[in-house]
Structure 1
Amino acid sequence: MNQPIKDDPSGFSYECYHTTLASNSSDILSHWHPELEIIYVQKGSACYHINHTVFNSQAGDIILIQPNNVHAISQLPYEEQESDTFAIHLDHLGRSNVDKYSQRYLQPIYIHHFELTPRIQPGMPGYEALKSCLLSIFSIVREQNLYFDMLLKSKLHEFLYLVFKHRYVNRHYTDDTYQKYQKLRDLIDYIYQHAHEQLTISELAEYFGYSRTHFMAVFKQHIGRSCLKFIIQVRLNNACDLLVQTRLPVREIAQKVGFTNIANFNRQFKQAYHITPYQYRQKNSPQT
């Protein structure tokens, strides 16, 4: 049988991957990136938090995550979600070109003068066309036939055309809203960088420019969990990396990521992953 001819890519950069979010896996904590992310939910459900929008996904959902939008994905009790994701920087579709096409369509998405509808569901206008186009994109990436990158780029433009055609490009962000989310991204970035330190809510509230009470309410509203729980999960994620990538003792890892009490670390870890740190290391460390 003839095998498909593979072609060397032209440097057209993108990411495409399959994700399973199960009860024993880590939540995808609040973060952002400059790429446009398109997700197709194959089965199951998870809780998505995209800027000010929160929803539980369903099979068949097409989820759009705009460049630099703060977003998180949390597991739901007794649920497992499988999804495929395609991510690309809009520069690779022509955003960086100084022309009317870029200024009319791509640049406003990137700088948030346009807001994309975060979830397109079965039955909504244009859904079947969008789904067909997106599944074609995943198929092109899997097969990588001759000149696949040319076809892939054209399909991505077709997908964006359908998003515009069916009016999933919405209201303008105000400068005030954009600045608020920029400040929130700065705060999250600060927590990621300093999670191993003894952070306090009062210090973070002062950094954000709010009272302690108002800060806690705003943080939970936009991130989907309390600031304290977010810090704990960042520390646990860092601990998971060290458990797999190093042979450091568990007690030392706990201290290194920001836990001062080993009993609290073990309790928080087991509550999050349903196994002990030692069991996690045994299960996930590369076999030698």
Structure 2
Amino acid sequence: MLMDYQYETVTINEGIPMFLLMTNVRFVPLHWHDRIEILFVLKGKIKVLSGKEEYVLKENDLLLINHNEVHGVEAGENNKVLVLQIPIWFIKKVHKNIENETFRCQSNLHKSQENFNIIRTLIIQLKLTLLKKDIGYDIKINSLLLDIIYNLITHFRIENNKQAKQNNEKVMERLTRIGNYANEHFMHPITLGEIAEMEGLSVPYLSKFFKQYMGQSFNKYLNDLRLEHAVRYLIETDWTITQIAMECGFGSLNSFHKVFRKTFHTTPYQYRKKQLAEMSSASTHLIRKRNGRYEYEEEINLKELEKHMSFLQ
């Protein structure tokens, strides 16, 4: 799943006000968006970076990412994850205070799974409804989404903080400008100095600011942005490793190898070989889609969804 970096924009149909996919997550650099996101791991293991926290999610784990919360995902092994995003504008229609509220929904921290199983079941029902597209399926989807929102507000809402939201908006505006600049120029050399000048800040202040709110240095963020493109090119093109390194803005083949190995614990060549082999032998039906700036391969496996559903019932 190749998700957009920095502030993420996705086209969501008002008739079906959500974004839902079942996919094998490879690498998602830090980003944020105006949607609540729920990750439900069906198989394998993923690592989620959220703020300054790092979570390892395993099979059956559930994690909610709040809107405008900086987060990213890494995976060193094959996995299957249901990713649900519900836009704030939809929730606002039934719960006007949503922008001031925060949810805490992380299943692996709790012994009792009753409330989490409700969310798991509703997400699978959403996916099955979307796949089957029976008469009136769009009405059913809206009903299921409202049920999810109700359960989140009832069981997972924590005290809201309006002042924190106002401060957060200013932070996000600056991070968005920085992210947009990095996105437009990642293939060229970028220094923190030129961004500091653009923002009218000193380099030390901007460095501290970025680390505080992104949980990593600007250089790490920029390299992750370049890696996302590199992963795409490794899988989707027959370009040489050197060509990919240069196209993605790495100063040399050596620096590309160093950054790639640190994140994926293998070389670009071995990564490409493994991913292409797994894709060619996949037994599931792969559907390539594009939505806004999203591009991903969705793995459709009805039997697997129905197996999880029977386990929850």
Aligned match for 2:155, one of 162, 166, 183: 166
CA contact (8 A) 2:226 2:249 kept: yes
Tell me the distance in 1 between the aligned counterparts of 2:271 and 2:60: 32
- Specify every segment of 5 or more residues in structure 1 that has no aligned partner in the other structure, as ranges: 1-8, 96-101
Aligned match for 1:135, one of 124, 128, 134: 124
Match of 1:49 in 2: 49
CA contact (8 A) 2:17 2:142 kept: no
AA matched with 1:171: N
Against the structure 1 CA distance between its residues 247 and 73, is the aligned structure 2 distance closer, same or farther, given a 3 Å change threshold? closer
Against the structure 1 CA distance between its residues 189 and 145, is the aligned structure 2 distance closer, same or farther, given a 3 Å change threshold? same
Match of 1:74 in 2: 74
Against the structure 1 CA distance between its residues 199 and 119, is the aligned structure 2 distance closer, same or farther, given a 3 Å change threshold? same
CA contact (8 A) 1:115 1:173 kept: no
CA drift at 1:94: 6.8
Normalised by the length of structure 1, the TM-score is 0.73
SS in 1 for 2:124: helix
Q: Percent of aligned pairs with the same residue?
A: 22
Match of 2:85 in 1: 87
Against the structure 1 CA distance between its residues 278 and 18, is the aligned structure 2 distance closer, same or farther, given a 3 Å change threshold? same
Against the structure 1 CA distance between its residues 10 and 257, is the aligned structure 2 distance closer, same or farther, given a 3 Å change threshold? closer
Query: Which structure's residues are more often strand, by fraction?
Result: 2
Match of 2:21 in 1: 17
Larger Rg: 1
Deviations 1:50-109 (A, max 9, x none): 346543335443322334432212347xx7654211224344x474xxxxxx2x61x433
CA contact (8 A) 1:49 1:72 kept: yes
Bigger relative contact order (CA 8 A; separation at least 6): 2
CA drift at 1:198: 1.1
SS in 1 for 2:49: strand
CA drift at 1:228: 1.4
CA contact (8 A) 1:266 1:277 kept: yes
Matched residue count: 262
Normalised by the length of structure 2, the TM-score is 0.68
Tell me the distance in 2 between the aligned counterparts of 1:257 and 1:85: 27
Against the structure 1 CA distance between its residues 124 and 185, is the aligned structure 2 distance closer, same or farther, given a 3 Å change threshold? farther
SS in 2 for 1:197: coil
SS in 2 for 1:12: coil
Tell me the distance in 2 between the aligned counterparts of 1:32 and 1:271: 24
The two structures, once aligned, show a CA RMSD in angstroms of 3.4
CA contact (8 A) 1:43 1:59 kept: yes
CA drift at 1:30: 0.9
AA matched with 1:71: H
CA drift at 1:29: 0.5
AA matched with 1:20: N
Against the structure 1 CA distance between its residues 206 and 251, is the aligned structure 2 distance closer, same or farther, given a 3 Å change threshold? same
Alignment of 1:29-48 (within 5 A): 29-48=29-48
CA contact (8 A) 2:103 2:156 kept: no
Against the structure 1 CA distance between its residues 157 and 143, is the aligned structure 2 distance closer, same or farther, given a 3 Å change threshold? same
AA matched with 1:83: V
Q: 2:246 aligned with 1:255, yes or no?
A: yes
